Structure 1
């Protein structure tokens, strides 16, 4: 069979009469190096090619059947509405049939077809992807990961030598592109960074394994594999053909879409996704491994694009564009290796004063990690964020644990180069002083933002508050006002008052200039 010749089964599947349902003519055929996909209107049919690339082996009918079933099983986790069933393609004489009584000669994955405009990548290009979509994606992926499997075998893929092997392979495969889409400096510094990262953080990788963050993940969760269809976010086309590609840290999954958005200069959107995900899961420590996976996803995008430069069948104009794209992602991967200056931003103010709204706005503008005390408290108490906490969640002991955890996370992440917003009342001088002492000890830049609003405005906000994880009500306002302790002289150099009834943009400029 030559490249120009289609298998007889595919030729027949291009005919409308092959299907037991109405089709939209003409039937479209989409080919990749590993599959044929036939688009019939309401349904899409996918057939795996008998290929063997080492990391992927579809060379026998039995293997193709197995991986069709795996693709169905794995993708029904995130897109059960799209992935319907695996059907045998049978043959009687020269005629092929879906199902039937003949001997199976191939296996076909039947999927529901959806418009390409529904892809997150296309929504982004059309300017239709917004923060609300990315926040919902964060919730969807958090739920998805919570349902994924892990066990001793899967966890073993989190060993440093296992994770590092993929990075080493990337460098071996891309060294030849030095002087082309990537520079010698970029290659050397990126490689040195990953070597240091793995050498210095072995305990971190062990803790990720021990705490069950190595799971049977998606493995390829970029914007082209996420769809908004019938008002649902669907995660599809995950990796079925290679276990090491999907037995990964959950942050490996998260890094794909974050990198996609940051490559397009939309850190506000990536921040909405990332902050929502980590708040839902409570996996703030996972941010410590995120930089290496951001680097990896960008580098792999560059590598795969670089491969087009070696293909004699690719037109010159396409190669020129591929070289530019590869250079962009090699540079981004290199930029992820650069040291970042972390900082702490401490929010302070009464419940309803606008702390969280202001913190969220700052997080988007500064690409900061936003840690809310309400979320920390509920994770410590083992209570779903959507549920209202009981009295035992608000004891003095639990409050002390919550603030201690906030400070611990803030210190860890700021020392790793993250801007971190600690969002709580911080109405006691001692609590604020503890943050100041920690910041001074580790030489972390600190800002204290005291949010204010007229009492009547605060009351109205608390009365109208819905759909938020915070439990504070207007009944608590009087006691909060009475108990709040004023700023001390040691706090004043760090403190900026933020009137939450005024435009945010002008006040942001003051914060940035300080």
Structure 2
């Protein structure tokens, strides 16, 4: 589309004189099927197109004003620095004016412009997105969800019939692509999985509603809608135009980010984000719905990409690439539904022996859920993870309660096909025996990794420990050594000894 074919308003907005501030020339225009975005240098201006797609209706001026205001309001939560104000556009003669005094003929959202290099998608492409950033993203999204609104109306969108409606619509809209980017086997098996999930897991959906996990979420939390700007992670461009797309389970948002990273062949980064998020929120039970939403998000990407294939204005080369991309997403959606064999890995060892470091390494390698007793204990005690616990958090009763909860979660998740690492001292025979008994009962493979290091190394590590939720200090080592109970002959069959002063890789590969 040439400049002359744009609406007159857009033609005028491409001229520097339209704005009451200096601009960077030439003004750049980005457009989607629902909006125009004009990049002027310091500021970006976003207009909504007068379109109605059913799930999105911007067909009247009143609706466009309303959804501009909603976009401003909702994005204050994750990117208040970027979203500035909604301004009227007036028409005097043949000249449009920004924030004029006449009656408004259009509305525009004014935003602070930021460099595209700040997008997490761009940082990923440049190889600059690392585990540290994904850890921080997990904590940022956790806080975002903690502050997100919920009420009875929002929670009602977590009911099975309402959740299922979007899935059924996806299948109806993609039947025509079977034999193209989608296969009959994948279509049938993916649909069978979700049908079965909705039929058999009604209590799980009810518990998500009861525990207030249906919230006003972001709704579109992939890497192109997340930025790292001025050393701060910003979550922007959330869904403002459709309630069912944002009144969702928090795991819906989490699944979008994990799916996006896994589609980019970086499951390790997806694992770092996921473990950081659930450790912060304590929503480990929510992982039971994660595979459903992972499949859903990949399927939606496949569907939207497939729509390009029926557009006569799309060139053949673009359609060829779209077919390949859609095919990959359909396959990814299907793979999330395949049965998986869960396992339990018990970490064991003194404080400072390298249990958490080893567990983190294993989690990235195996895509495992890393359950730290420090986090479980503090969630049970109702104190922030980064706050040091008092004596009441470390009573024998609280320790017993922590290990009970740790194993309960481990069994729940392993039965669902997750690999789960229970990261605790496991220095008592009865604690280890209970884990072995439960794993045996449910036929869950189990391994115990005993981390060791010389006493002086343990002391040095604990004295130098910073930026961690663990409270243990070097002065506790003497009592830990005295109280630790040796492995029984029965337990020895499960144990792998790991010297954490040596290469983990070689030792773990020999396990």
TM-score scaled by structure 1? 0.98
- The aligned counterpart of 1:323 is 323
Q: After superposing the two structures, state which structure 1 stretch, 502-511 or 80-89, moved more.
A: 502-511
State whether structure 2 residue 117 is matched by structure 1 residue 101: no
1:325, 1:274 → 2: CA distance?
A: 25
State whether structure 2 residue 286 is matched by structure 1 residue 294: no
- The aligned counterpart of 2:470 is 470
- The aligned counterpart of 1:270 is 270
1:300, 1:218 → 2: CA distance?
A: 16
Report if the CA contact (8 A) 2:37-2:45 is conserved: yes
- The aligned counterpart of 2:259 is 259
Instruction: Give the CA deviation at 1:281.
Output: 0.1
- The aligned counterpart of 2:459 is 459
State whether structure 2 residue 203 is matched by structure 1 residue 203: yes
Report if the CA contact (8 A) 2:194-2:292 is conserved: yes
- The aligned counterpart of 1:187 is 187
Q: After superposing the two structures, state which structure 1 stretch, 411-420 or 125-134, moved more.
A: 125-134
State whether structure 2 residue 367 is matched by structure 1 residue 343: no
Report if the CA contact (8 A) 2:39-2:45 is conserved: yes
Report if the CA contact (8 A) 2:3-2:11 is conserved: no
Instruction: Give the CA deviation at 1:396.
Output: 1.1
- The aligned counterpart of 1:91 is 91
The aligned runs of 1:270-419 (5 Å cut-off) are 270-419=270-419
Residues matched between the structures, number: 511
Instruction: Give the CA deviation at 1:100.
Output: 2.1
1:420, 1:470 → 2: CA distance?
A: 19
Q: Give SS of 1:220's match.
A: coil
Q: Give SS of 2:85's match.
A: strand
* Misfit runs of 4+, over 4 Å: 1-4
What do you get for the CA RMSD once the two structures are aligned? Answer: 1.1
Q: Give SS of 2:398's match.
A: helix
- The aligned counterpart of 2:51 is 51
Report if the CA contact (8 A) 2:150-2:215 is conserved: yes
Could you say if the C-alpha distance between residues 65 and 222 of structure 1 is closer, same or farther in structure 2, counting changes exceeding 3 Å? same
Instruction: Give the CA deviation at 1:2.
Output: 11
Could you say if the C-alpha distance between residues 32 and 443 of structure 1 is closer, same or farther in structure 2, counting changes exceeding 3 Å? same
Q: After superposing the two structures, state which structure 1 stretch, 92-101 or 293-302, moved more.
A: 92-101
1:338, 1:413 → 2: CA distance?
A: 15
Q: Which runs of 5+ in 2 are unaligned?
A: none
Q: After superposing the two structures, state which structure 1 stretch, 89-98 or 77-86, moved more.
A: 89-98
Instruction: Give the CA deviation at 1:3.
Output: 11
Instruction: Give the CA deviation at 1:4.
Output: 6.6
- The aligned counterpart of 1:125 is 125
The aligned runs of 1:36-47 (5 Å cut-off) are 36-47=36-47
Deviations 1:143-172 (A, max 9, x none): 100110000000000000000000000000
2:490, 2:505 → 1: CA distance?
A: 28
Deviations 1:242-293 (A, max 9, x none): 0000000000000011001111221110000000000000000000000000
2:99, 2:457 → 1: CA distance?
A: 66
TM-score scaled by structure 2? 0.99
1:464, 1:130 → 2: CA distance?
A: 24
Q: Give SS of 1:490's match.
A: helix
1:306, 1:410 → 2: CA distance?
A: 39
2:195, 2:209 → 1: CA distance?
A: 20
Deviations 1:375-433 (A, max 9, x none): 00000000000100011111111111100000000000000000000000110000000
Could you say if the C-alpha distance between residues 3 and 96 of structure 1 is closer, same or farther in structure 2, counting changes exceeding 3 Å? closer
1:321, 1:96 → 2: CA distance?
A: 40
Deviations 1:463-509 (A, max 9, x none): 11111100011111100000000000111111000111011111221
- The aligned counterpart of 2:32 is 32
Instruction: Give the CA deviation at 1:183.
Output: 0.7
1:507, 1:217 → 2: CA distance?
A: 43
